[in-house]
Structure 1
Amino acid sequence: MAKVRVADIIKQFNLELISGEEGIHRPITTSDISRPGLEMTGFFDYYPADRIQLLGMTEITFSNRLTPEERKSRMENLCSDITPGIVISRGLEIPSELIEASEEHSVPVMRTPMKTTRFSSRLTNYLEYKLAPTTAVHGVLVDVYGVGVLITGKSGVGKSETALELVKRGHRLVADDCVEIVQEEEGSLIGHAPELIEHLLEIRGLGIINVMTLFGAGAVRSHKRITMIANLEIWDQHKQYDRLGLDEEKVKILDTEITKMTVPVRPGRNLAIIIEVAAMNYRLKNMGVNAARQFTDKLADVIEEHEQENNQG
């Protein structure tokens, strides 16, 4: 199923549909936008027909200098079978030859009062977001001290209860149970909740609660960049857990690697506080303060001094 169709951008940007109404359900498959300047001169050898075509003052002014036969030929070539649509900016008058060609080939021709560069920028941003790679993961996404923490783990391990405690401590819920993730650009994952379960938390034994209703609008947010993953797992006494934090585990989501820490769960451990500290520690590491590295460096110095004293003795 196509992610974006011409009808979507008509609605999003309040475009005026001039002609080619039969083609408004054509899919848009790329966020690239074409300014067909060379094509207006008759050069169609490398015409990117699969892009939205944007005609501004330059293209329209040049087309008005063509003979009617030349203009008719250019406009028919613009309206290919795979062209999603043609947008005229600045509210400019549209050549009758373009309207005729668009009706014949069912290519939507739309008009916007916005300036060409401004509309191009806004449309590109919109399409990049809508056409970005997406996935969904089972987990809870919480904004903790500005760090987007994705809490994962097996069903029933306590993800939602931990998120509830974090919300009570002043942090903000983004999504519970299902987190939809969009890779806006390489190295940037944005998580949000499906519309159906936005602001909701499921607590076993209590049921579904509305976090915004209970704690206020400041307890939720619509989306957040995912910075780290906290994976909750039942404590395994036979497993060796990291006690220093020197080696960072990475997990790949789509094409982006995210730092992952494993938090063993057993009675008496306050997971919310652990995740709070992990988020603050992550921020410190980004500022160049690595407590684990400082400790090992000091320990190495102490061992070296001790060895020197023994050698002297």
Structure 2
Amino acid sequence: MKSITVKQLQDRFKLEVLAGDNQMHREITRPRAHRPGLEFVGYFDFFPMNRVQVLGRKEINYLHKQTEEERNLHIGNVVKYHPPCFIVTSQQEGLKYLMIYCQQEGIPLLRTNETTTEFLGKLDAYLIQALAPEISIHGVCVNVSGIGILLRGKSGIGKSETAHTLIRRGHRLVADDIVVLKKLSSQTLLGTHNGTTKEFLALRSIGLINVVRLYGRKAFQDETRIVLDIELCPWQDQALNNELELEPKYTEYLGVRIPHIEIQLQPGRDVAGMIEAAANSWYLKQQGYSAAEEFMKRIEGDMK
């Protein structure tokens, strides 16, 4: 199971440590944070104890209004489950009682000056991505006109060279050779690099190039949502057809189905142009447009 430490979370959001600074190594394994509410009054049937606990103005104001005895009981109900950490939002004050409990139980207590709504949005987005299931595959990832594409094929078939042509046409490299795929949801697959290969593209006969140094920042982006899986294949006579609309095929990664296209290679064939056409065609289909349907309507109109 993937995890991050409370220290990593603190560094990412520049959080102030109020208590438990010797427990920053504690691990966070669950995406999405939780705001304890019913738990303060003793209802724990569905308490996600393994999640980061966020205390906004609503929760802190509630605790402030309790007697010391009630407050100690309510806080004790929650801290005894030892969640990874507590984060107080909006730079709220008067937290001495909370600091004492967290220090005694060895739970980090952190604080941010951001509002609860603003902070929770950022925190959940970060945790979902940081803790997402992931795999690494051999291929190239590019963003073509805002559309994330995974290029696959046997070694030496021309994936990197095709990516270079696309970059020259104004599109962006995400990853070369090793593509890291992260599952953000049942329908969302994110493609990114592994850090080591960031901005680098390996071209046979040329060697390693840094696309940002050669073509500027517009030639690279850190990540993209993968919506097309394109496989470059050797040319096979009689293997291609000219049907108006091909039967859709899919490839599955981490349980997420991605539309799959095969492009056969032949000297003189504009592979980069075909990838651009595939990307634009996918976009139009998302808007409800089908070229084949329009073509058939024209034929029917001519027959009438």
Q: TM-score, normalised by structure 1?
A: 0.86
Q: Which moved further from structure 2: 194-203 or 117-126? A: 117-126
Matches within 5 A, 1:55-66: 55-66=55-66
Query: Which amino acid counterpart does residue 145 of structure 2 have in structure 1?
Result: Y
User: Quick check: 1:234–1:264 contact (8 Å CA) kept in 2?
Assistant: yes
Q: Deviations over 1:169-200 (max 9, x none)?
A: 22222211111122333322221222211111
Residue number in structure 2 paired with 1:140: 140
Closer, same or farther: CA 289–94 of 1 in aligned 2, 3 Å: same
In the TM superposition, what are the counterparts of 1:137-286 in structure 2 within 5 Å? 137-237=137-237, 240-244=239-243, 245-286=245-286
CA shift in 2, pair 1:94/1:110, >3 Å: farther
Equivalent in the alignment of 1:86: 86
Q: Secondary structure at the match of 2:209?
A: strand
CA deviation after TM superposition for structure 1 residue 160, in Å: 0.7
User: For residue 240 of structure 1, what is the amino acid of its counterpart?
Assistant: A
Shift of 1:70: 3.0
Q: Is the 8 A contact 1:234 1:265 kept in 2?
A: yes
Contact kept, 8 Å, 2:29 with 2:131, in 1: the verdict is yes
Larger Rg: 1
SS at match of 2:62: helix
C-alpha change, 1:181 and 1:94, in structure 2 (3 Å) is farther
Please tell me whether residue 125 in structure 1 is matched to residue 125 in structure 2. yes
Residues 296/85 of structure 1: CA separation in 2 closer, same or farther (3 Å cut): same
Report the TM-score, using the length of structure 2 for normalisation. Answer: 0.88
Cα distance in structure 1, aligned partners of 2:278 and 2:34: 46
- Residue 224 of structure 2 aligns to a residue whose secondary structure is strand
Which position in structure 2 is the counterpart of 1:96?
A: 96
CA distance change for structure 1 residues 218 and 55 in 2, over 3 Å: closer, same or farther? Answer: closer
Paired residue secondary structure (2:155): coil
Instruction: Report if the CA contact (8 A) 1:81-1:105 is conserved.
Output: no
1:156 deviates by 0.9
How far apart are residue 50 of structure 1 and its match?
1.7
Unaligned runs of 5+ in 2: none
Q: Are the counterparts in 1 of residues 2 and 132 from structure 2 also a CA contact under 8 Å?
A: no
User: Deviation string for 1:259-292 (max 9, x for gaps)?
Assistant: 1111112333232222222223333333444334
Deviation at 1:108, TM superposition (A): 0.6
1:58 offset after TM fit, Å?
2.7
Identity fraction in percent: 35
* Cα distance in 1, alignment partners of residues 287 and 90 from structure 2: 46
CA distance in 2, matches of 1:227, 1:47: 36
- What is the count of residue pairs matched by the alignment? 303
Residue matched to 1:27: 27
**Which amino acid is 2:127 matched to?**
L
TM-fit CA distance, 1:293: 4.4
Kindly tell me: are residues 242 and 139 of structure 1, through their superposed partners in 2, closer, same or farther at Cα, counting changes over 3 Å? Answer: farther
Output the CA distance in 1 between the equivalents of 2:125 and 2:159.
34
> Residues 63, 246 of structure 1: CA spacing in aligned structure 2 closer, same or farther, 3 A cutoff?
same
Residue in 2 aligned with 1:310?
Answer: none
- Checking the alignment, whether the CA contact within 8 Å between 2:20 and 2:109 is kept in structure 1 is yes
CA distance in 2, matches of 1:233, 1:259: 16
1:209-259 CA distance string (max 9 Å, x none): 11111122222222222221220111234x733432421111112232211
Paired residue type of 2:50: D
CA-to-aligned-CA distance 1:6-61 (integer Å, 9 cap, x gap): 11221122111111123212222223322222233344454332222222233223
Q: Check if 1:76 corresponds to 2:76.
A: yes
Give the RMSD, CA atoms, in angstroms. 2.5
Q: Is the 8 A contact 1:76 1:98 kept in 2?
A: no
- In structure 1, stretches of 5+ residues that fail to align are 306-313
* 1:32–1:275 distance in 2 versus 1, CA, 3 Å: closer
Aligned mates of 1:170, 1:137 — CA distance in 2: 25
Q: What amino acid sits opposite 2:242 in the alignment?
A: R
